Structure 1
């Protein structure tokens, strides 16, 4: 599979914890998941648009060698995070070419529910994503973190998230099967 990209500024946010929870589900389905927290990349490279910085080169190489990417972001002011935008801007023009993408977002109000389709999806598409599966927006109030760090998602949201993650997994498996079949035919 590939990276599960957290585009928010906090390591302990609901978005970050939700992504790590979904990482485990994908790993249980046989996919290798590589957590990538954009906030850990050097700020001077992100803000200075330094595409030659070793950390940015390494991130771009990671995207280049994977089949799929999960992208999670908190929604601020009806759009995905500026931190995530900084990374996406530094990827090569077609840095997501041939990739299957699962966009996820969290936010405080249903007024932000269209952020995936109207803000994030066009950018992912412009970067060449081959297949952007149905994404999912989850309200912050539907995600709770216990004192022991245990993540709980309300039943309705959990069922919907499980469905989109399973569809993403199926899309990755189908892509892998098609690539293998094409290789055998050659």
Structure 2
């Protein structure tokens, strides 16, 4: 039974807030009656897009990641904005803003909690088909992004060889390889 594992939250407060996320501190009571506190990152839902061009290549972004101090190559991704009526709409917007590519079609791939031991983040994955560079990039003030393309098999190899270390990308490509189907090119 899951109820016998549940913690009871007795109080909660935002310990730190900044653009993009908050750190929440909760007072909790464990199943054995122990009282303690717990901190976690409160993050808005995000979308991750696996975008295929008509030729079957995948559109990726090369982006500076300050936390790890290097350029990261991965799938376009980003947070939900107030104007996004659906996760699908957010995925379309993020693809266009980060890469300048538009998609003929987007289909859901899966939803995951990528770090649920320390964060409440949810990532909603989509596969995009027929992606072409028909738009302009519209980057946030703190984004350094260059779009690029890669053959799907080369991307799969890069994930397998640990040449792509972005967790969202590794999860998306691996899950797609196991359970998805490539769009007709």
Same fold (TM over 0.5): no
TM-score range, shorter chain: under 0.3
Calculate the TM-score normalised by the size of structure 1.
0.26
Calculate the TM-score normalised by the size of structure 2.
0.26
More strand per residue: 1 or 2?
2
